[in-house]
Structure 1
Amino acid sequence: MSGNDERRGGGQNKAKRGGRGQGGSDRRDEQGRQRHRGQGGGERQFGAMAPGTRSRTADPARATAFEVLRAVEENDAYANLALPAAIRRHQLDRRDAGFATELTYGALRERGRLDAILSRCIDRPLARVDAPVVDALRLGAYQLLQMRVPAHAALDATVALTRDLIGAGAGGFVNAVLRRVSERTPQEWDALVVEGAADEMEALSILTSHPAWIVRALKQSLVVHGRSAEDLPGLLAADNAAPTVNLVSLPGLGDPDALAEAGAEPSDLVPGAWLSGLGGDPGRLPGVAEGTVRVQDAGSQLVARALAAAELPQGGPDAAWLDLCAGPGGKAALLAAIAADRGAHLEANEVAPHRAQLVTQGLKAVPQDAWHIEVGDGRRYAQEAPARFDRIMLDAPCSGLGALRRRPEARWRKQPSDIPALTKLQGELLLSAFDALRPGGVLAYVTCTPHAAETLAVVEDLLHRRPQARLMDTGSVVDSVAWPDTVGATRPADAMIGSSTGSTVQLFPDAQGTDAMFMALFTRV
């Protein structure tokens, strides 16, 4: 609805809770504090803050969070890219940056549950409330239900933000709705919003803020990758936990000592990976601006290092490397740094010119004679470069269901109808990559999703279509580049893939603390 409609809506809600009119002269106490309706029709209570002490403008941390939520909603922005820029724009210090980070990602992750609660507090469908107001309500509700922010502070700050950035009328509406949210505990709200759930899957969908189809897909993924379906609640909870910032110090380029001095700690999963508690803007860490240190999940580092470390089964040259779908450039930068150290050369291909530019930017710190960029459809390599490359990385476009904790907005953008087109593209790219692999070379098929259709099904399809393809013991290679006894990734017996010695690896956020990366290594005989 329009801004005027929203102001009317705020007035209607205030009238229901004791607005001006008959009997309105006793709405304030001697300090001027507002009187509000008590719970369950009980005695009216006065607000905690007098008008003179209330905030009038949005504080920078909450304004940053609101700005990012609006960019995600209006412009399909990615929060992990929009948030650091907003933090710099608002010049937040470390403490405020951490608050803005928790609030932004929390409101995005918990959107489904928050909307279910807010819908119980509004006398119209949530879809009929202006989108900026809904974002303000989500921020306020998240503070009330999930953060250690006093209720009066969460209410005051959110209303001030609404009045400052949206409008005075909307501020009254937000105030009324959030007061209703504050009347129940998180546990009471959870019990209430699942009362009408059809089954356990729907209840989990609401409580863990995952669309129902993703809940079902993740349950199936656990089973096909050798885990129990009973692990599903833990996996969904891990998706909603705030991840630690993961960094990679590029081999031969990054300065581990400087990272340690800045407070980063070595990862206990993979050598060269670091963990940082600096929220929001990792660009403040040494080496990040220069490109010698990059933000990259430890799971992504693990699969890149595994490809580089895999033994070439038939020996031979090891100089021509290819990253078939290189954007935005994280794995390409790590592979290029390793290639430079070993005298190899990486060809980084990306179909989209703007993403190819991101790859170029990401590789700027690596010696330029160790890499070059190509722009084009990766499916052309089968015809244009048959049997040319010694090592190939195919980090295929996928649903991204394995990175929902780092890209929380993605869960609300994906649809089950996306999967068939993705699996078709994945299969075509994998066939092209295999045809570009020389006999005795190594090919890595990688996705950031555990979805069975995008992982094992694509592997099976390649083995059926290319008799020369052999699945390698991916698990052993991954173990060789990780710290001892740390991965413990699921490894199917692969009987259904027709391999007695090969294996695939599936990581999970609740088990390894990484994104849910899948990896299968192939060679060509």
Structure 2
Amino acid sequence: MARPALDRAGGGLVSGVAGSRRVAYDTIRAVHESDAYANLLLPTSITRAGLATSDAALATELTYGTLRRQGTYDAVIAIAADRSTGDIDPAVLDALRLGVHQLLSTRVASHAAVNESVELARGAGGRGSAGFANAVLRRVSRDTPGDWMTRIADGARSDDEKLGLLFSHPVWVVRAFRRALAAEGRADELEALLTADNAAPRVTMIALPGLAEVPEEARSTPFSPVGFRLGGGDPEAAIRASGGRVRVQDEGSQLAALALSRAMPVREGERWLDLCAGPGGKTALLAAEALAHGARLEANEISPSRAGLVRKALEGVPLEVPVSEQDGRVRAAESPETYDRILVDAPCTGLGALRRRPEARWRKAPADVPELTGLQRELLEAAVSALKPGGIVAYVTCSPHLAETAGVVAEVRREWGAALEEVSARDVITALSDADPGLAPQADGSERAQLWPHRHNTDAMSISLLRRV
């Protein structure tokens, strides 16, 4: 079995590095103490701290790298401390995690990594905590990353646990990924997928169709006809200059919205609904598509704060899109046989976005899946009831977990019987693409499209298209 390559940050120590560590530590603490989202909190913290560009990049790498490899680092810390991480004060433990990340996965000098992390532990727990942290980190620094990987692998009780420790994924997630890959006959790609989850994703952008053009100097994405990647520089400048018509959006999210809008020709006057719209990236793309074809779009989001994000996302599109704030099941039930197209971007475990939201892997548990799949099924059933005959629903999850994808769709299709037929999401997405995405047939015979970080450089988005007969 191949050993995972640990990330290496470039450059070593730079001015303001202490500020970078402080921002990273405070963000990690907020993630663990207050259930904060690193991707939302970190940019604000960097701005508040006034970090230079290089220091901001270091703070980002330290934060995301530590969160991604938390499971691996906890195994290292438990050995070096000769105690369970559950017996270590949480604030001190986060300082240790940050220190171990620097020692094992960056080019930061060992003495600096140890000394600065010890000071963070001192601030968290006093002199005794500082002495403890110093002893643990010096113990870690005496061995190479390879030595530590061998040590934690040797302590694993099963092959799945070994993979979980080496690639820093909970065992239940490792097993869910294996089953999802096996459904395509690709179980041998598991380590490649786990490795991809621990790599920082490249920034992908979108030019809203009909409203913005892909910049000449940009490189178009291989699968989405409206996506691109910049060669370098700050994407914020392009975003600001476009008035919201150019934005950051994962290519998988672009394909999910386009699969619905381009599954069949649009007739002028069609009514569309984005049932679970927050935070609004797919809504904005659907709005641009609706504007181009003379369709009407409505959006719904149960969370008031996320509904606000949807309205903000729509500011660059000159189309009036009413945004309601209801439970999606109720919203759809109020409009039987009303819509020609509905997007159900369902709440899910988020296991497909672990590159961008590394803390998500530690926040979910197998016990969460049944409740989520029940909600997903109810949302999809409600959406189908709100479709006109001949209408299409796109059921989307940012998760490859078979219970959330194939399982939910199979249950709803059984419920509706011959009144609901599948449209090939694989064929629709392949037709959109400049390159063949190589979307594999599913073991259950469905035409579901499953995207993968290691194959497509996207989130692991699952897309199903169903037409009401």
The alignment's TM-score, normalised by the length of structure 2, stands at 0.91
Matching residue within 212, 217, 221 for 1:267: 221
Q: Which amino acid aligns with 1:295?
A: V
SS of the equivalent of 2:307 reads: helix
**Cα distance in 2, alignment partners of residues 372 and 253 from structure 1:** 20
**Cα distance in 2, alignment partners of residues 345 and 135 from structure 1:** 49
Shift of 1:201: 0.6
**Cα distance in 2, alignment partners of residues 121 and 185 from structure 1:** 13
Counterpart for residue 31 of structure 1: none
Matching residue within 347, 350, 360 for 1:397: 347
Q: CA RMSD, aligned part only?
A: 2.4
1:245–1:278 Cα contact (<8 Å) kept: no
Counterpart for residue 308 of structure 1: 261
Q: Deviations over 1:182-224 (max 9, x none)?
A: 1111111111112232211111111111111111111111112
Q: Which amino acid aligns with 2:214?
A: P
Matched, 1:228 2:186: yes
Which is further off, 160-169 or 287-296?
160-169
Counterpart for residue 470 of structure 1: 421
Shift of 1:353: 1.5
Matching residue within 248, 256, 278 for 2:206: 248
SS of the equivalent of 2:239 reads: coil
Counterpart for residue 60 of structure 1: 19
Matching residue within 377, 382, 402 for 1:427: 377
1:241–1:405 Cα contact (<8 Å) kept: yes
Counterpart for residue 507 of structure 1: 451
Mapping 1:10-25, distance limit 5 Å: none
Matching residue within 88, 105, 114 for 1:129: 88
1:58–1:157 Cα contact (<8 Å) kept: no
Shift of 1:155: 2.2
Counterpart for residue 338 of structure 2: 388
Matching residue within 135, 157, 161 for 1:198: 157
Q: Deviations over 1:97-118 (max 9, x none)?
A: 2211111111001000000001
SS of the equivalent of 1:466 reads: helix
> Taking structure 1 as reference, are residues 364 and 166 closer, same or farther at Cα in structure 2, changes over 3 Å only?
farther
Counterpart for residue 250 of structure 2: 297
Shift of 1:172: 3.4
Mapping 1:280-429, distance limit 5 Å: 283=236, 285-287=238-240, 290-311=243-264, 317-369=268-320, 371-429=321-379
Q: Which amino acid aligns with 1:351?
A: I
> Taking structure 1 as reference, are residues 364 and 68 closer, same or farther at Cα in structure 2, changes over 3 Å only?
same
Shift of 1:270: 1.7
Matching residue within 96, 99, 102 for 1:140: 99
**Cα distance in 2, alignment partners of residues 292 and 317 from structure 1:** 23
> Taking structure 1 as reference, are residues 288 and 63 closer, same or farther at Cα in structure 2, changes over 3 Å only?
farther
Shift of 1:288: 8.0
**Cα distance in 1, alignment partners of residues 454 and 334 from structure 2:** 42
Counterpart for residue 516 of structure 1: 460
SS of the equivalent of 1:256 reads: coil
**Cα distance in 1, alignment partners of residues 442 and 385 from structure 2:** 26
Shift of 1:123: 4.0
Shift of 1:357: 1.2
Shift of 1:139: 0.9
Mapping 1:473-484, distance limit 5 Å: 473-484=424-435
Q: Deviations over 1:297-321 (max 9, x none)?
A: 1111111112111115xx7555211
Q: Deviations over 1:348-369 (max 9, x none)?
A: 1011212111111211221142
SS of the equivalent of 2:277 reads: coil
> Taking structure 1 as reference, are residues 136 and 271 closer, same or farther at Cα in structure 2, changes over 3 Å only?
same
The alignment's TM-score, normalised by the length of structure 1, stands at 0.82
- Which structure 2 residue ranges, 5 or more long, are not aligned? 1-12
> Taking structure 1 as reference, are residues 277 and 150 closer, same or farther at Cα in structure 2, changes over 3 Å only?
farther
Q: Deviations over 1:19-78 (max 9, x none)?
A: xxxxxxxxxxxxxxxxxxxxxxxxxxxxxxxxxxx99x9712111111210110111011
Mapping 1:81-100, distance limit 5 Å: 81-100=40-59
1:392–1:433 Cα contact (<8 Å) kept: yes
Counterpart for residue 47 of structure 1: none
**Cα distance in 1, alignment partners of residues 232 and 24 from structure 2:** 17
Q: Which amino acid aligns with 1:135?
A: D
**Cα distance in 1, alignment partners of residues 163 and 241 from structure 2:** 38
**Cα distance in 2, alignment partners of residues 446 and 132 from structure 1:** 37
Q: Percent identity?
A: 48
Mapping 1:44-193, distance limit 5 Å: 59-163=18-122, 167=126, 169-193=128-152
- Which structure 1 residue ranges, 5 or more long, are not aligned? 1-53, 498-502
1:254–1:287 Cα contact (<8 Å) kept: no
Equivalent pairs counted in the alignment come to 456
Larger radius of gyration: 1
